[in-house]
Amino acid sequence: MNHLTRRQFLKGLGLSLAAGCFPCSLTLAATINSAPEQAATTLRAAAKRAGLYVGAAVQLRDLKNEPDFAGTLIRECNLVVPEGALKWNVVHPQYNQWNFNPANDLLAFAKAHGLRMRGHTLVWHEAFPDWAKNLLTQGYGLSLLEEHIEKVMGTYKGKLLSWDVVNEAINLKDGQQQGLRKSPWLKALGPDYIAHAYRIAARTDPTATLVYNDYMLTGEEGQKGAAILALVRSLLDKGVPLHAVGLQSHLWAPKTVDVPKISAFCREVKAMGLDLYITELDVGEQDYGSDFASRDKLVAQRVDEYLNAVFSECTPREILTWGLSTRHSWMKDPRYFKTNTRAEPVRGLPFDEDMQRTPFGDTLYKALSALPPAS
Ligand code: XIL
């Protein structure tokens, strides 16, 4: 596999931009086919026609080392989100250490190929280093929150389309007020940490769309969705600058999508004057033994159910899958997907290991193509 150094990767981007050719790093040129007939049937073309962004979470190393993967991203997407590069443990590994290289390189790649980038995520209970947890317990929570958001958002001021400012703040099982997750942030600053985060974010980058991102809204007998709506409503009632709700949208192949509940949630979000994004769409599976054709059929059925439920109420301006190709998916990691004990290949993304579009991808393409064209 072709392993580019960071310098080669960036040089490649720079040379291609200078040459005015279809902007791509030297190693990518061979794999990018921008033939007009292909362009018309890509996810990117369908999204463009509908006036929205379609994309995926990616790791920079995969773009640098796999030209076919990078070529597929460029051809099929107009939006990208770093899977890990903007999380605390990468971007702020120690109190006085910052590492923006991976996110900078991904932003340079996106810019070179006409993609936008979104930020994920500023305040989360995971990927949160112990040094930061310790400072929270010592009473430095608000100054740490301010310093991190001002530094990270400030670095990309005016350059990112949107930000998941707070991620996964609701967890009813923790029995806290408002169903809030018992996170280090809640323990240190109380429920107001959320409002603080959005106010700091809004003054740091007034150009960015500020998103509250969460998952499994139909979970906990649907109570989780109600708690998310109540949280968002309370923030808006306090004049907190919040512009959109991000539905992570991690579907489960064995489970029929609760269309009425999803649609009702989307209706409520729109009624509050907020945008709604699909931020991490993928389909987890229980059955890894069946043939791909039957697995793909079930996966595509869930995607179809879900997109119909959402699109019946709104047109998300941003639609991202959590991974572009099944070659790289967190669903192959038994730490997160207990059913995948042997890290089996997965089918719950729009492109397969060979960068061929899956029935998931076909279903997403059809749903995007059925949206009304941008005015
Ligand atoms: C996951 C990544 O995909 C993994 O590689 C990482 O080890 C853990 O985090 N919801 C989120 C994402 O908001 O940030 C998580 O990403 C998946 C669940």
Residue-wise pLDDT tens digits, 223-265:
999 999 999 999 999 999 999 999 999 999 999 999 999 999 9
Q: Which of 336, 337, 346, 349 to mutate to test the pocket of ligand 1 (most atoms within 8 A of CB)?
A: 336
> Ligand 1: distance of its center to the CA of 25 in Å?
28
Compute the distance between CA of residue 54 and CA of residue 222 in angstroms, rounded to an integer.
Answer: 28
Residue-wise pLDDT tens digits, 51-77:
999 999 999 999 999 999 999 999 999
Compute the distance between CA of residue 200 and CA of residue 80 in angstroms, rounded to an integer.
Answer: 24
Asked if residue 157 is part of any domain, the answer here is yes
Q: Is the pLDDT of residue 25 over 60?
A: no
**Structure tokens, 88:** 């605390």
Identify the active-site residue in 168, 268, 285, 318: 168
Asked if residue 212 is part of any domain, the answer here is yes
Query: Considering the entire predicted model, what is its pTM?
Result: 0.93
Q: Report the candidate in 114, 146, 72 with the shortest Cα–Cα distance to residue 327.
A: 72
Q: Taking a C-beta distance cutoff of 8 angstroms, is the pair 44, 76 a contact?
A: yes
Which residues sit with their C-beta closer than 6 Å to ligand 1?
83-84, 167, 248, 280, 330
Asked if residue 346 is part of any domain, the answer here is yes
Q: How many domains does the chain have?
A: 1
Whose CA is closest to atom 3 on ligand 1?
330
Whose CA is closest to atom 16 on ligand 1?
83
Q: Is position 168 annotated as part of the catalytic site?
A: yes
What average pLDDT does this structure show over 10-38?
46
Q: Taking a C-beta distance cutoff of 8 angstroms, is the pair 53, 113 a contact?
A: no
> Ligand 1: distance of its center to the CA of 261 in Å?
25
Identify the active-site residue in 83, 268, 280, 285: 280
**Residue 213 alpha carbon, nearest atom of ligand 1:** 13
Domain with 34 in it: 3-369
Residue-wise pLDDT tens digits, 329-342:
999 999 999 888 88
Asked if residue 374 is part of any domain, the answer here is no
Q: Which of 322, 328, 329, 331 to mutate to test the pocket of ligand 1 (most atoms within 8 A of CB)?
A: 322
Q: Residue 308: give its domain's CATH number.
A: 3.20.20.80
Asked if residue 375 is part of any domain, the answer here is no
Asked if residue 341 is part of any domain, the answer here is yes
Q: What percent of the chain has pLDDT over 70?
A: 91
> Ligand 1: distance of its center to the CA of 332 in Å?
12
Asked if residue 305 is part of any domain, the answer here is yes
Q: Which of 60, 124, 126, 250 to mutate to test the pocket of ligand 1 (most atoms within 8 A of CB)?
A: 126
- 14: confidence class by pLDDT, cuts 50, 70, 90: low
Q: What is the pLDDT of residue 7?
A: 73
Asked if residue 251 is part of any domain, the answer here is yes
Compute the distance between CA of residue 334 and CA of residue 342 in angstroms, rounded to an integer.
Answer: 7
- 30: confidence class by pLDDT, cuts 50, 70, 90: very low
Residue 4's region, left for phi above 0, alpha for psi from -120 to 50, else beta, is beta
